[in-house]
Amino acid sequence: MDNNLRCIATTATVFSQVTAGVKNIVDTYYKVKEEKQKSRPDQGNDSE
C-alpha cells in the first residue's frame, strides 16, 4: 500500500513537471508565431 502511494505521488510529480514544460513550450511557440505574423507585413513591404 505504501509503495503504491509512493508510485502515485511520483507519477503526479512527474506529470505536473511535464505539464509545466509543455505549457512553457506552447507559450513560447505562440509568442514566436505572433512575432512572425507581425513581421510578415514588413517583409512584404521590403520585397516591393
pLDDT (tens digit per residue) in 1-37: 689 999 999 999 999 999 999 999 999 999 999 998 8
CA distance between the termini of the chain: 70
Query: Angle at the Cα of 25 (from 20 to 29), degrees rounded to 5?
Result: 145
Q: Is the pLDDT of residue 43 over 70?
A: no
Cell 509568442: give the residue.
31
Residue type at position 19: T
* Total number of domains constituting the chain: 1
Domain containing 26 equals 1-48
Q: Residue 35 has which C-alpha cell?
A: 512575432
